[in-house]
Amino acid sequence: MFYRPSYGEEYGVEMNSICTILKTRSNIIALFVMLFIILLCSGCAVGEDAVAKVKPSIVSIKADSKSGSGVIYKNEGYIITNKHIIDGAEKISVTFSSNNTLNAELIGMDETVDLAVIKVESEKSLTAATFAPSGKSNENDDIATVGLTNDEVKDRKGVIRKFETQQNDDNTIKYILTDAVINEGNSGGALIDTDGNVVGINVLGAKINNKDTEKGTYVAIAADSAKEIADKIIGNPNGEGSSSGGKSSSNRDRLEASVIYIKAAAERNSREYSLGSGFIYTEDGYVITNSHVVHEHNNVIKVFLPDRSEFNARLVDEDVSVDLAILKIYGEQKFPTPKIGNSDKVKREDTVKALGSPLDEQLANTTTTGTISGLNRKFKTGSGTTVNAIQIDASIDHGNSGGPLANKNYEVIGINTWGIDGANNKGFAIPFNPMKEKADVMIAKDKKRPYLGVILRDKEDRSSLDVSGLDGIWVYQVISGSPADKAGIADGDNEFDVIRGINGANVNKVSALRQQLDTFKEGDVITLNVVRYVKNGKKWNTNPRTIKVTLEKKPLQDDNYEL
């Protein structure tokens, strides 16, 4: 029989072996495809290394009956978390991934987003999280939500679905929407990328532009927005003081550093003086206090900062009807200022702190804590005007007047004004919101007001002058080299001027002259109608005259002047 080898035999391979080889090749191809997919995913998904990197910076927070997570923002102890976790809590504790637990204090909260900053005091430097650079994250990037629950760091993986923005007051808040689960345990924790960098702060049940998110979509505040808000809460609006160890100050530090002790006298070298408190309102040295602290004692004003540094100051303006006065510290340095709260949002039983220097300078920088007993209390100021006041059970003693009243976040919400003698649990403060509006107007006018260079006294403030029948404003002192000095306005014991008018308009109060000067600018020439008093033996000769004065720019000098 003729024999013809098969195809496989012809090449030395059996047919069933060929089938096996073909199957094996298919498996190998499939295996390579699977390996390629695994390698591709492993390059993108958030892995254990990324979670391990952020783990030391994730904390668990317990605030009374509420709990959640937080992210260490600065290695000196500042932690970012959610406002809803710690709002209203009396006691806050923080547990680290190392199981160490420390008590924390609230530094501040943002009124517009679910974000807050707390602080722990630790002997060791904490491990602050690394925040991703601006603009690094993109849609469809792999991320994970990380929190510390039951002493265990847990993560939920997902991707960034999209970004949204919301305009809040002066800030534009950027949000990240993701499918990675955010729950009560990791709320306040970190949203991280594949490198373990924080790209957002987890929030629970957030509404964006007053709209609920879609089912299965979770929200984080983008890292840039969270950092900006945290820096403002901490008191570092420029973002200085990074996790590498720069210095920053809390709301409490800012408040305490801004409170000043005031010593004001009607005459130089006088043994009679008025004592009070105040706080620095602007970095360039404008101070808020009570009018009754300086109204009759505004010739020599000295202010003392908490570090005992001493500065001269002048009275800028006052509104006796609401017991408000603005001073200006002489000095070109930047002064500490407090964070301003919203007095419209205070409620009965809110915790408050009254700061000031009760009784005398030995008790400077005293803080008393209490609660709000009542709102809209009708209170009469020294001028007889009735204002709405906040009643508190924190003690306000003599010397505390003019100091700040702060909420539990150390934000100024009022100006301490009056306490009832013998009743340590009844004090009154004027709400700050309406005072802020008045203060801003007074300061803006002062910055524009031209310089005359005199210290003046109203009729009722001239008891030391043995002259009767004066009608007008007494020129108590002329500043050397000032426009008034150059124009020949007189002061002194034996010869002085009394101002009765400016450019034909009658004035008989310092406040009236100040208002008139507000209508002029640097370089304008004004005409003052004065009466010059010259002592002649036991009598005074009077000589009405007009004096032209060229107004100048207000100087920055360490000297007193009123206008």
Active-site residue list: 292, 323, 401
Q: Is the dihedral of CA 448, 452, 453, 455 positive or negative?
A: negative
Which region holds residue 376: left if phi is over 0, alpha if psi is between -120 and 50, else beta? Answer: left
Instruction: Name the β-bridge partners of 464.
Output: none
CA distances 28 to 23, 34, 38, 39, 42, Å, are: 9, 10, 15, 16, 21
Place of tokens 């009396």: 90
Pairing, β 495-502 against β 101-109: unpaired
Strand positions, DSSP E, 420-485:
427-431, 454-457, 473-478
Is the Cβ–Cβ distance between 286 and 250 less than 8 Å? no
Contact 546, 528 (CB under 8 A): yes
Q: Which residues lie below 8 Å from residue 13, measured CB to CB, with a gap of 6+?
A: none
Written in H, E and C, the secondary structure of 336-391 is CCCEECCHHHCCCCCEEEEEECCCCHHHCCEEEEEEEEEEEEEEECCCCCEEEEEE
Integer Cα distance of 174 and 221 in angstroms: 6
The pair of structure tokens assigned to 186 is 């990791």
Q: Are 130 and 137 in contact (CB under 8 A)?
A: no
Burial 501-511 (b: 16+ CB within 10 A, else e): bbeeeebbebe
In 141-290, where does DSSP find H-type helix?
223-234, 251-258
Spell 126-162 as b/e; 16+ CB within 10 A means b.
bbbbbbbeeeebeeebbbbbbbbbeeebbbbbbbbbe
CA distance 43 to 397: 66
Using a 10 angstrom Cβ sphere, with 0-12 exposed, 13-18 middle and 19 or more buried, the burial of residue 195 is: middle
